Structure 1
Amino acid sequence: MYLESLGKLALGSRLKALSDHLYGAVDQVYQARGARIESRWLPVLRYLWDVGPRPVTEVAEAIGQTHSAVSQLADKLVRAGMVKRRRDPADGRRSVLTLTDKAHRALSELGPLWWAVRQGVTDALGEHVERLLDAVAACERALRERPVADAILAAHAALLAAPLEVVPYAPALRTHFRRLNLQWLERHFRVEDIDRAVLDDPERHILQSGGAIFFARLGKEVVGTCALLQESPGVFELTKMGVDEGFRGLGAGRRLLDEAIAEFHRRGGRMLFLESSSTLKPALRMYEQAGFRLQPSVRPGSHYERADVYMIYEPAGRAPRAPG
Protein backbone atom coordinates (compact mmCIF):
# COMPACT_ATOMS: atom_id res chain seq x y z
CA MET A 1 0.00 0.00 0.00
CA TYR A 2 1.35 3.40 -1.00
CA LEU A 3 0.57 5.18 2.27
CA GLU A 4 2.52 2.51 4.14
CA SER A 5 5.63 3.45 2.18
CA LEU A 6 5.38 7.03 3.51
CA GLY A 7 5.71 5.89 7.11
CA LYS A 8 5.19 8.57 9.78
CA LEU A 9 4.55 11.22 7.12
CA ALA A 10 1.17 9.64 6.36
CA LEU A 11 0.28 8.48 9.88
CA GLY A 12 -2.82 10.68 10.03
CA SER A 13 -4.01 9.51 6.61
CA ARG A 14 -3.57 5.86 7.53
CA LEU A 15 -5.43 6.30 10.81
CA LYS A 16 -8.25 8.08 8.97
CA ALA A 17 -8.46 5.28 6.40
CA LEU A 18 -8.61 2.73 9.23
CA SER A 19 -11.21 4.81 11.04
CA ASP A 20 -13.35 5.16 7.92
CA HIS A 21 -13.14 1.41 7.34
CA LEU A 22 -14.34 0.65 10.88
CA TYR A 23 -17.08 3.26 10.74
CA GLY A 24 -18.29 1.79 7.46
CA ALA A 25 -18.26 -1.76 8.79
CA VAL A 26 -20.31 -0.90 11.87
CA ASP A 27 -22.76 1.20 9.85
CA GLN A 28 -23.25 -1.79 7.56
CA VAL A 29 -24.10 -3.89 10.62
CA TYR A 30 -26.48 -1.26 12.03
CA GLN A 31 -28.31 -1.02 8.70
CA ALA A 32 -28.51 -4.80 8.31
CA ARG A 33 -30.09 -5.12 11.76
CA GLY A 34 -32.37 -2.09 11.48
CA ALA A 35 -30.64 -0.06 14.20
CA ARG A 36 -31.64 3.62 14.19
CA ILE A 37 -28.15 4.99 14.72
CA GLU A 38 -24.97 5.84 12.82
CA SER A 39 -21.56 4.77 14.06
CA ARG A 40 -20.23 8.36 14.08
CA TRP A 41 -22.98 9.32 16.51
CA LEU A 42 -21.91 6.82 19.13
CA PRO A 43 -19.35 8.82 21.18
CA VAL A 44 -21.78 11.70 21.85
CA LEU A 45 -24.87 9.54 22.35
CA ARG A 46 -23.12 7.02 24.55
CA TYR A 47 -21.54 9.71 26.73
CA LEU A 48 -24.88 11.44 27.28
CA TRP A 49 -26.49 8.04 27.94
CA ASP A 50 -23.87 7.19 30.56
CA VAL A 51 -23.55 10.53 32.40
CA GLY A 52 -26.69 12.48 31.54
CA PRO A 53 -27.17 15.98 30.05
CA ARG A 54 -23.92 17.84 29.52
CA PRO A 55 -22.74 21.03 27.75
CA VAL A 56 -20.94 20.74 24.43
CA THR A 57 -17.63 21.81 25.96
CA GLU A 58 -17.66 18.93 28.44
CA VAL A 59 -18.71 16.40 25.81
CA ALA A 60 -15.93 17.54 23.49
CA GLU A 61 -13.33 17.23 26.23
CA ALA A 62 -14.59 13.81 27.30
CA ILE A 63 -14.51 12.26 23.82
CA GLY A 64 -11.36 14.03 22.59
CA GLN A 65 -12.96 16.04 19.79
CA THR A 66 -13.07 19.77 19.11
CA HIS A 67 -15.89 21.94 20.36
CA SER A 68 -16.76 22.78 16.74
CA ALA A 69 -16.94 19.12 15.69
CA VAL A 70 -19.19 18.18 18.61
CA SER A 71 -21.41 21.22 18.06
CA GLN A 72 -21.88 20.32 14.38
CA LEU A 73 -22.62 16.69 15.26
CA ALA A 74 -25.10 17.86 17.90
CA ASP A 75 -26.94 19.85 15.24
CA LYS A 76 -27.25 16.66 13.15
CA LEU A 77 -28.51 14.73 16.16
CA VAL A 78 -31.08 17.41 16.88
CA ARG A 79 -32.35 17.15 13.30
CA ALA A 80 -32.44 13.35 13.64
CA GLY A 81 -34.57 13.67 16.76
CA MET A 82 -31.93 12.04 18.97
CA VAL A 83 -30.80 15.06 21.01
CA LYS A 84 -32.31 18.28 22.36
CA ARG A 85 -30.58 21.47 23.41
CA ARG A 86 -31.84 22.82 26.74
CA ARG A 87 -30.83 25.63 29.02
CA ASP A 88 -28.37 24.59 31.70
CA PRO A 89 -30.23 24.94 35.01
CA ALA A 90 -26.92 25.73 36.72
CA ASP A 91 -25.95 28.44 34.19
CA GLY A 92 -28.65 30.01 32.07
CA ARG A 93 -26.06 31.44 29.68
CA ARG A 94 -25.27 28.05 28.18
CA SER A 95 -27.15 25.05 26.88
CA VAL A 96 -26.76 21.35 27.55
CA LEU A 97 -27.28 18.37 25.30
CA THR A 98 -29.81 15.82 26.45
CA LEU A 99 -31.03 12.61 24.88
CA THR A 100 -34.58 12.35 23.58
CA ASP A 101 -36.90 9.43 24.32
CA LYS A 102 -36.23 8.27 20.75
CA ALA A 103 -32.52 8.09 21.49
CA HIS A 104 -33.06 6.22 24.76
CA ARG A 105 -35.20 3.62 22.98
CA ALA A 106 -32.68 3.22 20.16
CA LEU A 107 -29.70 2.86 22.49
CA SER A 108 -31.46 0.46 24.84
CA GLU A 109 -31.93 -1.98 21.96
CA LEU A 110 -28.26 -2.03 20.98
CA GLY A 111 -26.78 -4.17 23.77
CA PRO A 112 -26.62 -7.41 21.72
CA LEU A 113 -25.26 -5.56 18.69
CA TRP A 114 -22.55 -3.89 20.77
CA TRP A 115 -21.57 -7.28 22.13
CA ALA A 116 -21.37 -8.56 18.56
CA VAL A 117 -19.24 -5.57 17.53
CA ARG A 118 -16.75 -6.29 20.32
CA GLN A 119 -16.65 -9.98 19.50
CA GLY A 120 -16.48 -9.46 15.74
CA VAL A 121 -13.61 -7.00 16.04
CA THR A 122 -11.77 -9.50 18.25
CA ASP A 123 -12.41 -12.33 15.79
CA ALA A 124 -11.31 -10.24 12.79
CA LEU A 125 -8.22 -8.62 14.31
CA GLY A 126 -7.20 -11.17 16.92
CA GLU A 127 -4.42 -10.10 19.26
CA HIS A 128 -3.74 -7.04 17.12
CA VAL A 129 -6.79 -5.23 18.47
CA GLU A 130 -5.53 -5.27 22.07
CA ARG A 131 -2.11 -4.07 20.99
CA LEU A 132 -3.75 -1.37 18.89
CA LEU A 133 -5.89 -0.18 21.81
CA ASP A 134 -2.84 -0.10 24.08
CA ALA A 135 -0.86 1.83 21.45
CA VAL A 136 -3.71 4.31 20.93
CA ALA A 137 -3.96 4.91 24.67
CA ALA A 138 -0.20 5.43 24.90
CA CYS A 139 -0.27 7.89 22.00
CA GLU A 140 -3.13 9.80 23.59
CA ARG A 141 -1.19 10.13 26.84
CA ALA A 142 1.93 11.27 24.99
CA LEU A 143 0.02 13.86 22.99
CA ARG A 144 -1.51 15.31 26.14
CA GLU A 145 2.01 15.87 27.45
CA ARG A 146 3.37 17.31 24.20
CA PRO A 147 1.18 18.21 21.22
CA VAL A 148 2.50 16.79 17.98
CA ALA A 149 2.43 20.17 16.21
CA ASP A 150 4.81 21.58 18.83
CA ALA A 151 7.15 18.61 18.39
CA ILE A 152 7.13 18.92 14.59
CA LEU A 153 7.83 22.66 14.65
CA ALA A 154 10.65 22.15 17.13
CA ALA A 155 12.20 19.43 14.97
CA HIS A 156 11.92 21.64 11.87
CA ALA A 157 13.54 24.59 13.65
CA ALA A 158 16.37 22.39 14.88
CA LEU A 159 16.96 21.04 11.37
CA LEU A 160 17.09 24.51 9.82
CA ALA A 161 19.49 25.66 12.53
CA ALA A 162 21.82 22.70 12.02
CA PRO A 163 25.03 23.38 10.07
CA LEU A 164 25.23 22.06 6.52
CA GLU A 165 28.60 20.42 6.10
CA VAL A 166 30.33 18.39 3.40
CA VAL A 167 32.29 15.37 4.59
CA PRO A 168 34.45 12.84 2.72
CA TYR A 169 33.61 9.19 2.18
CA ALA A 170 33.61 6.83 5.15
CA PRO A 171 32.54 3.17 5.12
CA ALA A 172 29.64 3.96 7.45
CA LEU A 173 28.20 6.28 4.77
CA ARG A 174 28.29 3.73 1.96
CA THR A 175 24.58 2.89 2.18
CA HIS A 176 23.71 6.57 1.77
CA PHE A 177 25.67 6.75 -1.48
CA ARG A 178 23.49 3.99 -2.87
CA ARG A 179 20.24 5.30 -1.35
CA LEU A 180 20.60 8.85 -2.59
CA ASN A 181 21.51 7.86 -6.12
CA LEU A 182 18.85 5.19 -6.48
CA GLN A 183 16.26 7.76 -5.45
CA TRP A 184 16.79 10.00 -8.48
CA LEU A 185 17.73 7.24 -10.89
CA GLU A 186 14.57 5.24 -10.23
CA ARG A 187 12.35 8.32 -10.31
CA HIS A 188 13.63 9.82 -13.56
CA PHE A 189 15.32 7.02 -15.50
CA ARG A 190 16.30 3.42 -14.94
CA VAL A 191 19.26 1.96 -13.11
CA GLU A 192 21.79 0.98 -15.76
CA ASP A 193 24.42 -1.72 -15.37
CA ILE A 194 27.19 0.84 -14.89
CA ASP A 195 25.15 2.53 -12.14
CA ARG A 196 24.60 -0.75 -10.39
CA ALA A 197 28.29 -1.63 -10.48
CA VAL A 198 29.41 1.73 -9.07
CA LEU A 199 26.74 1.86 -6.38
CA ASP A 200 27.45 -1.70 -5.27
CA ASP A 201 31.20 -1.09 -4.88
CA PRO A 202 32.11 2.62 -4.82
CA GLU A 203 35.46 1.93 -3.18
CA ARG A 204 36.64 -0.13 -6.13
CA HIS A 205 35.12 1.90 -8.95
CA ILE A 206 35.73 5.41 -7.61
CA LEU A 207 38.16 5.58 -4.71
CA GLN A 208 40.72 3.00 -5.83
CA SER A 209 40.98 4.65 -9.24
CA GLY A 210 41.99 7.96 -7.64
CA GLY A 211 38.57 9.53 -7.22
CA ALA A 212 36.68 10.96 -4.28
CA ILE A 213 33.20 10.80 -2.79
CA PHE A 214 31.53 13.51 -0.74
CA PHE A 215 28.42 13.69 1.40
CA ALA A 216 26.32 16.64 2.50
CA ARG A 217 25.19 16.31 6.09
CA LEU A 218 22.57 18.49 7.76
CA GLY A 219 22.82 17.84 11.46
CA LYS A 220 22.58 14.06 11.75
CA GLU A 221 20.89 13.63 8.38
CA VAL A 222 22.87 12.65 5.28
CA VAL A 223 21.05 14.61 2.60
CA GLY A 224 23.23 14.49 -0.51
CA THR A 225 26.24 12.99 -2.24
CA CYS A 226 28.48 13.33 -5.30
CA ALA A 227 31.67 11.81 -6.65
CA LEU A 228 34.77 12.64 -8.65
CA LEU A 229 35.74 9.73 -10.89
CA GLN A 230 39.25 9.86 -12.32
CA GLU A 231 38.98 8.62 -15.87
CA SER A 232 42.69 9.07 -16.66
CA PRO A 233 45.53 11.05 -15.05
CA GLY A 234 44.25 14.58 -14.50
CA VAL A 235 40.87 13.93 -16.16
CA PHE A 236 37.90 13.70 -13.81
CA GLU A 237 34.18 13.12 -14.23
CA LEU A 238 31.70 14.73 -11.86
CA THR A 239 29.24 11.93 -11.28
CA LYS A 240 26.65 10.37 -9.02
CA MET A 241 25.31 13.60 -7.62
CA GLY A 242 22.02 13.33 -5.78
CA VAL A 243 20.20 15.25 -3.05
CA ASP A 244 17.41 13.72 -1.02
CA GLU A 245 14.09 14.97 -2.37
CA GLY A 246 13.01 15.92 1.14
CA PHE A 247 15.96 18.27 1.63
CA ARG A 248 16.19 20.13 -1.66
CA GLY A 249 16.31 23.91 -1.66
CA LEU A 250 18.72 24.12 1.28
CA GLY A 251 21.87 24.52 -0.81
CA ALA A 252 23.23 20.99 -0.39
CA GLY A 253 23.68 20.41 -4.13
CA ARG A 254 25.72 23.57 -4.64
CA ARG A 255 27.87 22.87 -1.57
CA LEU A 256 28.66 19.41 -2.91
CA LEU A 257 29.42 20.77 -6.36
CA ASP A 258 31.74 23.46 -4.97
CA GLU A 259 33.59 20.89 -2.87
CA ALA A 260 34.03 18.56 -5.84
CA ILE A 261 35.41 21.41 -7.95
CA ALA A 262 37.74 22.43 -5.11
CA GLU A 263 39.02 18.86 -4.85
CA PHE A 264 39.58 18.81 -8.60
CA HIS A 265 41.78 21.90 -8.25
CA ARG A 266 43.59 20.50 -5.21
CA ARG A 267 44.55 17.47 -7.25
CA GLY A 268 45.83 19.62 -10.10
CA GLY A 269 43.26 18.28 -12.52
CA ARG A 270 43.44 19.23 -16.18
CA MET A 271 39.87 18.51 -17.22
CA LEU A 272 36.57 18.11 -15.39
CA PHE A 273 33.42 17.04 -17.23
CA LEU A 274 29.98 15.67 -16.55
CA GLU A 275 27.22 13.90 -18.42
CA SER A 276 23.60 14.52 -17.66
CA SER A 277 20.11 14.61 -19.14
CA SER A 278 18.24 17.55 -20.63
CA THR A 279 15.27 16.61 -18.42
CA LEU A 280 17.16 17.65 -15.27
CA LYS A 281 16.88 21.38 -15.88
CA PRO A 282 17.47 22.65 -12.30
CA ALA A 283 20.68 20.60 -12.08
CA LEU A 284 21.88 21.86 -15.47
CA ARG A 285 21.36 25.47 -14.37
CA MET A 286 23.40 24.82 -11.25
CA TYR A 287 26.22 23.27 -13.27
CA GLU A 288 26.24 26.23 -15.65
CA GLN A 289 26.37 28.71 -12.77
CA ALA A 290 29.37 26.82 -11.36
CA GLY A 291 31.33 27.14 -14.62
CA PHE A 292 30.34 24.11 -16.68
CA ARG A 293 29.72 24.82 -20.37
CA LEU A 294 27.38 22.86 -22.59
CA GLN A 295 29.11 21.07 -25.47
CA PRO A 296 27.58 20.85 -28.96
CA SER A 297 27.23 17.08 -28.90
CA VAL A 298 27.11 14.17 -26.50
CA ARG A 299 30.39 12.83 -25.21
CA PRO A 300 32.01 10.28 -27.54
CA GLY A 301 31.87 6.83 -25.99
CA SER A 302 29.38 7.83 -23.27
CA HIS A 303 28.67 5.11 -20.73
CA TYR A 304 25.08 6.20 -20.07
CA GLU A 305 21.96 5.58 -22.15
CA ARG A 306 20.21 8.53 -20.48
CA ALA A 307 22.99 11.05 -21.21
CA ASP A 308 22.14 13.60 -23.89
CA VAL A 309 24.08 16.46 -22.25
CA TYR A 310 27.86 16.84 -22.13
CA MET A 311 29.41 19.70 -20.15
CA ILE A 312 33.03 20.68 -19.48
CA TYR A 313 34.21 22.82 -16.59
CA GLU A 314 35.55 26.10 -17.94
CA PRO A 315 36.13 28.57 -15.11
CA ALA A 316 36.27 32.24 -16.06
CA GLY A 317 39.57 33.17 -17.67
CA ARG A 318 40.68 29.59 -18.15
CA ALA A 319 40.14 27.32 -21.12
CA PRO A 320 40.01 23.56 -20.51
CA ARG A 321 43.11 21.60 -21.38
CA ALA A 322 42.91 18.59 -23.61
CA PRO A 323 42.57 15.29 -21.77
CA GLY A 324 45.55 13.68 -23.48
Structure 2
Amino acid sequence: MDFFERTGKMALGSRLRLLTAQVTEDAEGIYKLYEVDFVPKWFPVFFVLAADGAKPITEIAAEIGHSQPSVTKIIKEMAEAGLVKDNLKSDDKRRNVAGLTEKGKKLAAKIRIQGEDIERAIENVIAEATHNLWEAIAEWEDLLMQKSLLKRVQEQKKLRESKDVQIVPFVPQYTKVFRDLNEEWISQYFEMEAADYKALDNPKEYILDKGGQILVALYQGEPVGVCALIKMSGSDYDFEMAKMAVSPKAQGKNIGWLLGQAVIGTARELGASNIYLESNTMLKPAINLYYKMGFKKVTGLPTPYKRCNIQMVLDL
Protein backbone atom coordinates (compact mmCIF):
# COMPACT_ATOMS: atom_id res chain seq x y z
CA MET A 1 0.00 0.00 0.00
CA ASP A 2 1.17 3.50 -0.81
CA PHE A 3 0.43 4.67 2.76
CA PHE A 4 2.88 2.18 4.27
CA GLU A 5 5.47 3.03 1.62
CA ARG A 6 5.18 6.64 2.78
CA THR A 7 5.30 5.94 6.52
CA GLY A 8 8.06 3.34 6.40
CA LYS A 9 8.67 0.86 9.21
CA MET A 10 7.39 3.20 11.93
CA ALA A 11 3.89 2.02 10.97
CA LEU A 12 4.69 -1.63 11.70
CA GLY A 13 2.04 -1.84 14.43
CA SER A 14 -0.63 -0.29 12.19
CA ARG A 15 0.23 -2.65 9.34
CA LEU A 16 0.09 -5.70 11.61
CA ARG A 17 -3.26 -4.57 13.03
CA LEU A 18 -4.61 -4.19 9.49
CA LEU A 19 -3.40 -7.69 8.60
CA THR A 20 -4.88 -9.06 11.84
CA ALA A 21 -8.21 -7.39 11.07
CA GLN A 22 -8.23 -8.94 7.59
CA VAL A 23 -7.42 -12.42 8.92
CA THR A 24 -10.04 -12.06 11.69
CA GLU A 25 -12.67 -11.01 9.16
CA ASP A 26 -11.79 -14.07 7.06
CA ALA A 27 -11.97 -16.24 10.18
CA GLU A 28 -15.53 -15.09 10.82
CA GLY A 29 -16.41 -16.03 7.24
CA ILE A 30 -14.71 -19.43 7.61
CA TYR A 31 -16.73 -20.26 10.73
CA LYS A 32 -19.92 -19.39 8.81
CA LEU A 33 -18.73 -21.53 5.89
CA TYR A 34 -18.57 -24.56 8.20
CA GLU A 35 -21.78 -23.52 9.98
CA VAL A 36 -19.93 -23.06 13.25
CA ASP A 37 -21.38 -20.48 15.65
CA PHE A 38 -18.12 -19.21 17.08
CA VAL A 39 -16.27 -15.94 17.80
CA PRO A 40 -12.63 -15.91 16.54
CA LYS A 41 -11.22 -14.32 19.71
CA TRP A 42 -12.41 -17.35 21.72
CA PHE A 43 -10.14 -19.72 19.78
CA PRO A 44 -6.95 -19.74 21.98
CA VAL A 45 -8.92 -20.46 25.17
CA PHE A 46 -11.21 -22.95 23.44
CA PHE A 47 -8.26 -24.77 21.84
CA VAL A 48 -6.50 -25.24 25.20
CA LEU A 49 -9.65 -26.61 26.83
CA ALA A 50 -10.32 -28.93 23.86
CA ALA A 51 -6.74 -30.21 23.81
CA ASP A 52 -5.98 -30.43 27.55
CA GLY A 53 -9.36 -30.76 29.24
CA ALA A 54 -10.54 -28.72 32.21
CA LYS A 55 -7.98 -26.20 33.47
CA PRO A 56 -7.66 -23.31 35.94
CA ILE A 57 -8.09 -19.92 34.32
CA THR A 58 -4.67 -18.82 35.59
CA GLU A 59 -2.98 -21.69 33.72
CA ILE A 60 -4.90 -20.96 30.53
CA ALA A 61 -3.86 -17.30 30.69
CA ALA A 62 -0.20 -18.21 31.20
CA GLU A 63 -0.21 -20.69 28.29
CA ILE A 64 -1.77 -18.40 25.70
CA GLY A 65 -0.07 -15.18 26.89
CA HIS A 66 -3.28 -13.35 27.80
CA SER A 67 -4.16 -11.56 31.02
CA GLN A 68 -6.29 -13.39 33.56
CA PRO A 69 -9.16 -10.83 33.30
CA SER A 70 -9.15 -11.28 29.50
CA VAL A 71 -9.43 -15.07 29.80
CA THR A 72 -12.10 -14.74 32.49
CA LYS A 73 -14.17 -12.54 30.14
CA ILE A 74 -13.82 -15.04 27.27
CA ILE A 75 -14.78 -17.94 29.57
CA LYS A 76 -17.87 -16.00 30.63
CA GLU A 77 -18.85 -15.34 27.00
CA MET A 78 -18.38 -19.00 26.04
CA ALA A 79 -20.32 -20.08 29.13
CA GLU A 80 -23.23 -17.89 28.00
CA ALA A 81 -23.03 -19.66 24.60
CA GLY A 82 -23.23 -23.02 26.38
CA LEU A 83 -19.74 -24.13 25.35
CA VAL A 84 -17.99 -23.92 28.71
CA LYS A 85 -18.63 -24.41 32.39
CA ASP A 86 -16.52 -22.61 34.97
CA ASN A 87 -16.22 -22.96 38.74
CA LEU A 88 -15.81 -26.72 38.31
CA LYS A 89 -14.81 -28.78 41.31
CA SER A 90 -11.08 -28.85 42.01
CA ASP A 91 -8.71 -29.81 44.82
CA ASP A 92 -7.84 -26.17 45.30
CA LYS A 93 -11.06 -24.26 45.96
CA ARG A 94 -9.30 -20.96 45.40
CA ARG A 95 -8.74 -21.73 41.71
CA ASN A 96 -11.48 -21.22 39.14
CA VAL A 97 -11.40 -24.27 36.84
CA ALA A 98 -13.16 -24.20 33.44
CA GLY A 99 -13.96 -27.04 31.05
CA LEU A 100 -15.94 -27.73 27.88
CA THR A 101 -19.57 -28.77 28.04
CA GLU A 102 -20.90 -31.59 25.84
CA LYS A 103 -21.93 -28.94 23.33
CA GLY A 104 -18.39 -27.54 23.45
CA LYS A 105 -16.83 -30.98 22.89
CA LYS A 106 -19.02 -31.59 19.83
CA LEU A 107 -18.06 -28.19 18.47
CA ALA A 108 -14.38 -28.98 19.07
CA ALA A 109 -14.67 -32.07 16.84
CA LYS A 110 -16.27 -29.94 14.10
CA ILE A 111 -13.57 -27.27 14.38
CA ARG A 112 -10.84 -29.92 14.04
CA ILE A 113 -12.14 -30.81 10.56
CA GLN A 114 -12.27 -27.12 9.67
CA GLY A 115 -8.72 -26.74 11.01
CA GLU A 116 -7.34 -29.31 8.59
CA ASP A 117 -8.61 -27.29 5.63
CA ILE A 118 -7.26 -24.06 7.12
CA GLU A 119 -3.85 -25.67 7.68
CA ARG A 120 -3.62 -26.73 4.05
CA ALA A 121 -4.82 -23.32 2.81
CA ILE A 122 -2.12 -21.53 4.83
CA GLU A 123 0.52 -23.98 3.60
CA ASN A 124 -0.50 -23.00 0.06
CA VAL A 125 -0.01 -19.30 0.87
CA ILE A 126 3.43 -20.07 2.36
CA ALA A 127 4.35 -21.99 -0.79
CA GLU A 128 3.32 -19.05 -2.98
CA ALA A 129 5.09 -16.44 -0.83
CA THR A 130 8.74 -15.44 -1.05
CA HIS A 131 9.02 -15.34 2.74
CA ASN A 132 7.58 -17.78 5.28
CA LEU A 133 5.45 -15.52 7.51
CA TRP A 134 4.83 -18.23 10.09
CA GLU A 135 8.54 -18.81 10.68
CA ALA A 136 9.24 -15.06 10.55
CA ILE A 137 6.65 -14.39 13.26
CA ALA A 138 8.27 -17.00 15.51
CA GLU A 139 11.66 -15.43 14.91
CA TRP A 140 10.40 -11.91 15.63
CA GLU A 141 8.66 -13.08 18.80
CA ASP A 142 11.93 -14.57 20.01
CA LEU A 143 13.96 -11.48 19.13
CA LEU A 144 11.48 -9.10 20.78
CA MET A 145 11.37 -11.35 23.84
CA GLN A 146 15.14 -10.93 24.14
CA LYS A 147 14.95 -7.17 23.63
CA SER A 148 11.67 -5.28 23.25
CA LEU A 149 10.97 -2.83 20.47
CA LEU A 150 10.75 -0.09 23.12
CA LYS A 151 14.27 -0.94 24.33
CA ARG A 152 15.59 -0.95 20.77
CA VAL A 153 14.04 2.47 20.07
CA GLN A 154 15.52 3.82 23.32
CA GLU A 155 18.95 2.67 22.16
CA GLN A 156 18.54 4.38 18.78
CA LYS A 157 17.37 7.57 20.51
CA LYS A 158 20.50 7.50 22.68
CA LEU A 159 22.74 6.98 19.67
CA ARG A 160 21.13 9.85 17.75
CA GLU A 161 21.21 12.27 20.66
CA SER A 162 24.77 11.28 21.59
CA LYS A 163 25.90 12.71 18.24
CA ASP A 164 25.05 16.15 19.67
CA VAL A 165 27.28 15.54 22.70
CA GLN A 166 30.81 16.94 22.87
CA ILE A 167 33.33 16.02 25.55
CA VAL A 168 35.66 18.94 26.22
CA PRO A 169 38.45 19.70 28.73
CA PHE A 170 37.61 21.68 31.86
CA VAL A 171 38.10 25.43 31.78
CA PRO A 172 37.42 27.87 34.66
CA GLN A 173 34.00 28.85 33.29
CA TYR A 174 32.78 25.30 34.14
CA THR A 175 33.77 25.52 37.84
CA LYS A 176 30.23 26.26 39.00
CA VAL A 177 28.72 23.57 36.74
CA PHE A 178 31.19 21.01 38.12
CA ARG A 179 30.15 21.84 41.67
CA ASP A 180 26.41 22.24 41.08
CA LEU A 181 25.90 19.00 39.13
CA ASN A 182 27.73 16.97 41.75
CA GLU A 183 26.10 18.65 44.72
CA GLU A 184 22.69 18.03 43.13
CA TRP A 185 23.01 14.22 42.92
CA ILE A 186 24.95 13.80 46.16
CA SER A 187 22.37 15.79 48.13
CA GLN A 188 19.54 13.85 46.50
CA TYR A 189 20.77 10.46 47.72
CA PHE A 190 23.25 11.17 50.53
CA GLU A 191 24.82 14.20 52.19
CA MET A 192 27.80 16.30 51.20
CA GLU A 193 31.00 15.32 53.03
CA ALA A 194 34.33 17.05 53.70
CA ALA A 195 36.03 15.23 50.79
CA ASP A 196 33.28 16.49 48.46
CA TYR A 197 33.79 20.13 49.40
CA LYS A 198 37.55 19.70 49.07
CA ALA A 199 37.32 18.58 45.45
CA LEU A 200 34.33 20.66 44.33
CA ASP A 201 35.36 23.98 45.88
CA ASN A 202 38.96 23.76 44.69
CA PRO A 203 39.06 21.65 41.49
CA LYS A 204 42.20 23.38 40.16
CA GLU A 205 44.21 22.90 43.34
CA TYR A 206 42.87 19.45 44.31
CA ILE A 207 42.58 17.82 40.86
CA LEU A 208 44.20 19.70 37.98
CA ASP A 209 47.41 20.93 39.65
CA LYS A 210 48.12 17.39 40.89
CA GLY A 211 48.13 15.88 37.40
CA GLY A 212 44.44 15.07 37.09
CA GLN A 213 41.83 16.04 34.53
CA ILE A 214 38.20 17.13 34.47
CA LEU A 215 36.06 16.52 31.41
CA VAL A 216 32.80 18.28 30.60
CA ALA A 217 29.96 16.98 28.43
CA LEU A 218 28.19 19.57 26.29
CA TYR A 219 24.79 18.76 24.79
CA GLN A 220 24.00 21.17 21.96
CA GLY A 221 26.59 23.49 23.49
CA GLU A 222 25.22 23.40 27.04
CA PRO A 223 27.28 21.80 29.86
CA VAL A 224 25.22 18.88 31.22
CA GLY A 225 27.76 16.39 32.53
CA VAL A 226 31.14 16.28 34.27
CA CYS A 227 33.67 13.69 35.39
CA ALA A 228 37.08 13.93 37.05
CA LEU A 229 40.21 11.82 36.73
CA ILE A 230 42.14 12.28 39.98
CA LYS A 231 45.82 11.36 40.26
CA MET A 232 46.36 8.87 43.10
CA SER A 233 49.68 8.95 44.94
CA GLY A 234 50.95 6.37 47.42
CA SER A 235 48.56 3.77 46.03
CA ASP A 236 48.58 0.70 43.81
CA TYR A 237 46.25 2.59 41.49
CA ASP A 238 47.17 5.36 39.06
CA PHE A 239 43.99 7.40 38.82
CA GLU A 240 40.54 7.59 40.39
CA MET A 241 37.47 8.22 38.26
CA ALA A 242 35.33 10.45 40.46
CA LYS A 243 32.72 13.17 40.59
CA MET A 244 30.78 11.90 37.58
CA ALA A 245 27.47 13.77 37.35
CA VAL A 246 24.88 14.22 34.61
CA SER A 247 22.07 16.75 34.71
CA PRO A 248 18.61 15.13 35.17
CA LYS A 249 17.39 16.98 32.07
CA ALA A 250 20.07 15.22 30.01
CA GLN A 251 19.46 11.68 31.31
CA GLY A 252 18.99 8.99 28.68
CA LYS A 253 21.36 10.52 26.13
CA ASN A 254 24.30 8.15 26.73
CA ILE A 255 26.25 10.96 28.37
CA GLY A 256 27.51 8.87 31.30
CA TRP A 257 28.92 6.28 28.90
CA LEU A 258 30.53 8.94 26.69
CA LEU A 259 32.10 10.68 29.69
CA GLY A 260 33.39 7.39 31.06
CA GLN A 261 34.91 6.38 27.74
CA ALA A 262 36.56 9.79 27.40
CA VAL A 263 38.00 9.53 30.93
CA ILE A 264 39.34 6.03 30.21
CA GLY A 265 40.90 7.28 26.96
CA THR A 266 42.50 10.21 28.81
CA ALA A 267 43.93 7.87 31.44
CA ARG A 268 45.50 5.74 28.71
CA GLU A 269 47.03 8.84 27.11
CA LEU A 270 48.54 9.72 30.50
CA GLY A 271 50.16 6.27 30.68
CA ALA A 272 47.88 4.83 33.36
CA SER A 273 47.64 1.06 33.79
CA ASN A 274 44.47 1.14 35.88
CA ILE A 275 41.61 3.33 37.14
CA TYR A 276 39.96 3.10 40.57
CA LEU A 277 36.51 4.32 41.64
CA GLU A 278 34.21 4.40 44.64
CA SER A 279 30.42 4.35 44.63
CA ASN A 280 27.33 3.07 46.38
CA THR A 281 25.24 0.07 45.28
CA MET A 282 22.11 2.18 45.79
CA LEU A 283 23.08 3.92 42.52
CA LYS A 284 22.16 0.95 40.32
CA PRO A 285 22.33 2.69 36.91
CA ALA A 286 25.83 3.97 37.74
CA ILE A 287 27.01 0.56 38.97
CA ASN A 288 25.65 -1.11 35.83
CA LEU A 289 27.48 1.50 33.74
CA TYR A 290 30.78 0.78 35.50
CA TYR A 291 30.42 -2.96 34.97
CA LYS A 292 29.61 -2.29 31.30
CA MET A 293 32.84 -0.28 31.03
CA GLY A 294 34.80 -3.22 32.39
CA PHE A 295 35.30 -2.24 36.03
CA LYS A 296 35.51 -5.08 38.56
CA LYS A 297 34.79 -5.04 42.27
CA VAL A 298 37.66 -4.90 44.77
CA THR A 299 37.71 -4.60 48.57
CA GLY A 300 39.77 -3.42 51.46
CA LEU A 301 40.87 0.08 50.49
CA PRO A 302 40.49 3.02 52.90
CA THR A 303 37.96 5.64 51.83
CA PRO A 304 37.17 9.18 52.98
CA TYR A 305 33.45 8.76 52.15
CA LYS A 306 30.78 7.41 54.52
CA ARG A 307 28.54 6.64 51.55
CA CYS A 308 31.05 4.38 49.81
CA ASN A 309 30.11 0.68 49.98
CA ILE A 310 31.64 -0.55 46.74
CA GLN A 311 35.10 -0.07 45.22
CA MET A 312 35.97 -1.00 41.65
CA VAL A 313 39.02 -1.12 39.39
CA LEU A 314 39.53 -1.15 35.63
CA ASP A 315 42.79 -2.60 34.30
CA LEU A 316 43.76 -0.77 31.13
TM-score range (shorter-chain normalised) is 0.3 to 0.5
Q: TM-score, normalised by structure 1?
A: 0.46
